[in-house]
Structure 1
Amino acid sequence: MRNVSKTSYLFVLIIILFFLTDHCKKKLEKEETSGDETKKQISTNLSSNMERTWKRFVSAIQSDDAVEIKKLSTNCIYCTTCVTNTAKEKSSFETLEKKNFETAYDKLYSDFSYIPIDRFIREDKPIIFDSTIKSKLSGKIKYDSSWIKAADVHNQACILSKAKFKTAQKYQVYHIRISIPDDWVSLFLTEEITDYVFAFIQTEDGYKYYEFSQIP
């Protein structure tokens, strides 16, 4: 009788684990296939130049090397979450929002979000690149790559020179994504997966980090 009970218990446990694993697998698959399929490649097969840049970037972030981070970045970083990622900044934005809602959001997705690189490194990097993100940077990444016209990037001289925007030249852009959580136990316990996206653009001096976004 005791052996039967143990066998039954193990059978039930295996069934539960099977359904948990299947549930989390489907959850990940849904996340990967949502949106534009061409932008959901799960791979670490970056171009050799981009791969070298990514490794240098990860090393610089993990060692808090401000000089190296600056070398690997454009003169500003486009980052909407940086506008309100502290209590003081959030309060200031909410005050502006109450005064003029449309102006606040126009500014949020334009002037406010172009953060000078020195300020980004000093104020925003410690918030964005916390211990959890740092620990994930060397792991599995997802990415998409595309060629886009300069005018379709960000019409800001701190990212590309004004002269570049007047040409029809196209630039290769990589969006590298890290998903949290990424283990099946945590996925089962949470309703939402957050993607952290780091964008790099091709320049005459190699690929440069120029944009951070968070989804959702």
Structure 2
Amino acid sequence: MKIKSIKYILIAPCILLLYISGKERSSYTPQDVEIKKTWNSFLKAVEKKERRTFKGLSKTKIRCYPCLENTTEEQAYIAQLQETDTLWYDTIYEDLIYVPIDRFIAQDFDLFFNPDFVKLLKERETIFYKQDLDGVFYWEILVTTTERTLFHEGGQHHFRFEKCDDGWKLNEIGTIP
């Protein structure tokens, strides 16, 4: 008799945990489902080099600091700007950082989305973070692309999508740190 009651005491919490975990899984909002579909479409577009699809998933300009330093020429330009322009910070963060999507596709798409990088984006853990900034809804998608080691803090790439009338649109690519 005592063994039967212990069995029920042990089984009841397990059933409760299964019930709760099932509830969590089914509590995705339509926005959660939408952004995951958008992310999968984004990954497919960059993997298959579908530039037209990529453009359709993006705003007309994207904020992209890494785009400013993809080549040695770009790095030299930024260094020169910092040395010669007293307003270099404003120039970078109010102007240059916003890259027209057509220019990104022509100059940066292949540099960014090489096969090794796309593989990391598909295989590594992806964190979805929802934001509401002044009534504008965003999803920040974080992918750890450089693992942490004893001597390095690791790094992530982030992709921010903004809610627009015609769906979620990429509006920023960046790195952390």
TM-score by length of 2: 0.77
- Tell me the residue number matched to 1:10: none
- Tell me the residue number matched to 1:213: 174
- Tell me the residue number matched to 1:59: 44
Whether 2:147 is the aligned partner of 1:173: answer no
Whether 2:162 is the aligned partner of 1:197: answer no
Deviates more, 1:79-88 or 1:129-138: 129-138
Find the aligned partners of 2:92 and 2:152 in 1 and give their Cα distance: 28
Find the aligned partners of 1:188 and 1:76 in 2 and give their Cα distance: 35
Q: Equivalent of 2:58, from 73, 94, 112?
A: 73
- Tell me the residue number matched to 2:73: 88
Q: Map 1:1-216 onto structure 2 (within 5 A).
A: 47-100=32-85, 102-139=86-123, 140-149=125-134, 170-182=135-147, 187-188=148-149, 190-216=151-177
1:107-131: per-residue Cα shift (whole Å, max 9, x none)?
1111001100011011112222232
TM-score by length of 1: 0.64
Question: What is the CA distance between 1:210 and its match in structure 2?
Answer: 0.6
Q: Which runs of 5+ in 2 are unaligned?
A: 1-27
Please tell me whether the aligned partners of residues 146 and 156 of structure 2 are also in contact (alpha carbons under 8 angstroms): no
Point out which structure has higher relative CO (alpha carbons under 8 A, 6+ apart): 1
- Identity of matched residues, %: 27
Three-state SS of the structure 2 residue aligned to 1:64 is coil
Output the amino acid matched with 1:114: Y
Question: What is the CA distance between 1:212 and its match in structure 2?
Answer: 0.6
Output the amino acid matched with 1:173: Y
Question: What is the CA distance between 1:189 and its match in structure 2?
Answer: 6.1
Q: Which runs of 5+ in 1 are unaligned?
A: 1-44, 150-169
Find the aligned partners of 1:89 and 1:188 in 2 and give their Cα distance: 30
Question: What is the CA distance between 1:105 and its match in structure 2?
Answer: 1.3
Please tell me whether the aligned partners of residues 131 and 137 of structure 2 are also in contact (alpha carbons under 8 angstroms): yes
Tell me the number of residue pairs that the alignment of Structure 1 and Structure 2 aligns.
Answer: 147
